[in-house]
């Protein structure tokens, strides 16, 4: 069979040789490889800008899938990684210790809420949630409660793409329907956003508490579910229900962690401490792959004893990679020393003002802002690729999905660049509405 040559991208009709040679062989995420055109060739990132191979610059409106909180190539993070690279790029944590992992575990214990003080490192957000789920099941097993092996999660929720994490995503959303029958069946409920749903969830939990290891939720924002917001009181309600029914609470802060919602962690706005918290994305400032699963004291202590079988049964080869840990330490220092939370709040205020006119555009259903997250929701996006192309033509990198046009810009984005992002959102949305 002849090799598949991807079609050329109209936004980049003369790709460099390395793209032409590699495009036949690289399998892209979430892409139909029969029809997907060649992706845009990026050659440099700096601050809030992505430089293409032909010299064009795009203002990044999504922080490289919500990771680049400090912008790209921040000198503090770059220097930290460079120093660590010279000394020791990697050593396994099985039998060895290294300073970056130890220091990072201590720093996370210092900055996360309450007694979230014991961290297990991995390489991706999906895996960090897998680990949290294993922690929860084994927590009960270690105490002789063998039946608590299932999870309650919520419609519209997303927690990862691995087999285990897909089981706690909304089964009717996206790709997850393809794997029905191959993934464990968990317990799906509606978020308790009103009194009726609160009562329904209370009854649901009461009927399943005996088999439930944990509730898994995203705090304040269901990200991949369509950037759907809910009040901090919802999280407080979940905490109370878990306490009442002897269930652990896992809070997935992979998207919301590190300032995106206006506080360092979204759960702070509810005044609660989850039993287990997962972090990734902005943990290293978008520099290297790293994730953490951090547990409270009582969870950690359930694994202690003379029985080797009660140890946490997980061990990625690259857990606690020194380069990634060095990047994360530098990133946390930036959150301490530079006004990231103030910047998030300033971005929120500017987006509230500049996105408001979108409410007057036909087919726009909602406009909403939470921290450094701005959303225009429409009734239906018929041609997402048209939007992507128009945004690139406007000099911005914005990727709508489902029925939302959104931005999650780096927290260091200045007023002028932010106005270019919001202006492009308004301009392109108006064009789209007029095409209908």
Q: What is the CATH number of the domain that holds 373?
A: 3.90.1150.10
Task: State the pLDDT at residue 3.
Answer: 57
Distance CA 370, CA 71 (A): 19
Please tell me whether residues 288 and 415 are part of one structural domain. no
- Structural domain includes residue 258: yes
Name residue, tokens 């749903």. 197
Please name the helix (run of DSSP H) or strand (run of DSSP E) that holds residue 52, with its range, or none. strand 49-52
Final residue belonging to a domain, choices 309, 337, 365:
337
Same domain, 394 and 304: no
Using an 8 Å Cβ cutoff, are 93 and 122 in contact? no
Shared domain for 332 and 187, answered yes or no, is: yes
The torsion of the CA quartet 225, 226, 232, 237, rounded to 10 degrees, works out to -30
pLDDT digits (tens, 9 = 90+) for 74-128: 999 999 999 999 999 999 998 999 999 999 999 999 999 999 999 999 999 999 9
Q: Which domain holds residue 365?
A: 40-70+339-435
CB-based burial label for 384 (10 Å; 0-12, 13-18, 19+): middle
203 with 106, same domain? yes
- Please give the distance of CA 233 from its chain centroid, rounded to a whole number: 22
Taking residues 134-157, report their average pLDDT.
97
Q: Supply the Cα-derived Rg of the chain in whole angstroms.
A: 22
Query: Pick from 337, 366, 398: which residue ends a domain?
Result: 337
213 with 348, same domain: the answer is: no
Q: Is residue 88 part of a domain?
A: yes
Strands (DSSP E) found in 53-181: 57-60, 116-122, 150-154
| Strand-pair partners of 49 | 46, 59
Task: List Cβ neighbours of 216 (8 Å cut-off, separation of 6 or more).
Answer: 129, 132, 133, 151, 152, 153, 157, 159, 168, 250, 252
The reply to whether 158 and 259 lie within a common domain is yes
Query: 3 in a domain, yes or no?
Result: no
Element at 405 (helix H, strand E)? strand 404-407
- Residues 206-220 as b or e (16 or more Cβ within 10 Å = b): eebbeebbbbbbbbb
What pLDDT score does 174 carry? Answer: 62
Please give the Cα distance from 262 to 408 (Å, whole number). 12
Strand 396-397, strand 57-60: pairing? parallel
Cβ atoms 328, 335 nearer than 8 A:
no
Whether residue 61 is predicted with pLDDT greater than 70 in this model: the reply is: yes
Distance between CA atoms of 164 and 143, rounded to whole angstroms? 23
Please identify every residue annotated as catalytic: 30, 158, 252, 281
Instruction: Convert the pLDDT of each residue in 312-338 to its tens digit.
Output: 999 989 999 999 999 999 999 999 999
pLDDT at residue 434 greater than cutoff 90? yes
Report yes or no on 230 lying in a domain. yes
> Which one, of 230, 224, 210, lies nearest residue 157 by Cα?
224
Answer whether residue 58 is part of any domain: yes
The answer, yes or no, to whether residue 263 has pLDDT greater than 50, is yes
Burial of 347 (0-12, 13-18, 19+ CB in 10 A): buried
Q: Report whether 329 contacts 119 (CB < 8 A).
A: no
Domain CATH code at residue 139: 3.40.640.10
Residue 235 in any domain: the answer is yes
Domain membership of residue 35 (yes or no) is: no
Beta-carbon contacts of residue 86 (< 8 Å; ≥ 6 apart):
none
Same domain, 53 and 81: no
Same domain, 333 and 298: yes
Domain identity same for 195 and 143:
yes
Of all residues in the chain, the percent with pLDDT exceeding 90 is 90
The answer on 172 and 127 residing in a single domain is yes
Identify whether 145 is part of a domain: yes
Which of 337, 357, 374 is the last residue in one of the domains?
A: 337
Instruction: Tell whether 260 and 392 lie within a shared domain.
Output: no
- Picking from 405, 402, 361, the residue whose alpha carbon sits closest to that of residue 387 is 405
Q: Supply φ then ψ for residue 349, to 5 degrees.
A: -65, -40
The reply to whether 47 and 135 lie within a common domain is no
Residue 322 DSSP code: H
| CA pair distance 132, 293, nearest whole angstrom | 6
pLDDT at 322: 98
pLDDT tens readout for residues 225-261: 899 999 999 999 999 999 999 999 999 999 999 999 9
What is the tally of structural domains in the chain? 2
């Amino acid at each position: 069979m002849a090799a598949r040559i991807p079609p050329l991208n109209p936004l980049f009709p003369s790709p460099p040789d390395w793209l032409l040679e590699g495009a036949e062989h690289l399998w892209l995420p979430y892409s139909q490889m029969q029809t997907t055109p060649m992706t845009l060739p990026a050659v440099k990132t700096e601050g809030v800008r992505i430089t293409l191979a032909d010299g064009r610059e795009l203002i990044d409106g999504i922080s490289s899938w919500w990771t680049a909180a400090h912008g790209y190539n921040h000198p503090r993070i770059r220097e930290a990684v460079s120093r660590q690279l010279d000394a020791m790029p990697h050593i396994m944590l099985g039998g060895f210790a290294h300073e970056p992992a130890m220091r990072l575990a201590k720093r996370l214990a210092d900055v996360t809420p309450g007694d979230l003080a014991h961290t297990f490192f991995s390489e991706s957000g999906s895996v960090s949630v897998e680990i949290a789920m294993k922690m929860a099941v084994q927590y009960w097993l270690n105490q002789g409660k063998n039946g608590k092996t299932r999870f309650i999660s919520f419609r519209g929720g997303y927690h990862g793409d691995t087999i285990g994490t897909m089981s706690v995503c909304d089964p009717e959303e996206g790709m997850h329907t393809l794997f029905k029958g191959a993934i464990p069946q968990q317990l799906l409920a509606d978020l308790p956003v009103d009194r009726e749903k609160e009562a329904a969830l209370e009854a649901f939990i009461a009927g399943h508490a005996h088999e439930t290891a944990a509730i898994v939720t995203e705090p304040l924002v269901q990200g991949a579910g369509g950037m759907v917001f809910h009040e901090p009181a919802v999280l407080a309600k979940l905490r109370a229900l878990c306490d009442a029914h002897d269930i652990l609470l896992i809070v997935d802060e992979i998207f919301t962690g590190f300032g995106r919602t206006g506080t360092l962690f979204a759960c702070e706005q509810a005044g609660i401490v989850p039993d287990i918290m997962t972090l990734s994305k902005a943990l290293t400032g978008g520099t290297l792959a790293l994730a953490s699963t951090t547990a409270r004291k009582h969870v950690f202590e359930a694994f202690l004893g003379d029985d080797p079988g009660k140890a946490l049964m997980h061990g990625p080869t690259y857990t606690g990679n020194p380069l990634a840990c060095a990047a994360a330490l530098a990133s946390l220092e930036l959150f301490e020393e530079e006004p990231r939370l103030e910047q998030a709040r300033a971005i929120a205020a500017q987006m509230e003002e500049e996105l408001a006119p979108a409410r007057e555009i036909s087919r726009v259903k909602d406009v909403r802002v939470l921290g450094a997250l701005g959303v225009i929701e429409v009734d239906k996006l018929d041609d997402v690729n048209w939007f992507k192309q128009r945004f690139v033509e406007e000099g911005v990198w914005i990727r709508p999905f489902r029925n939302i046009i959104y931005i999650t810009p780096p927290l260091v984005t200045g007023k002028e660049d932010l106005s270019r992002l919001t202006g492009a959102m308004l301009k392109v949305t108006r064009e789209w509405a007029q095409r209908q």
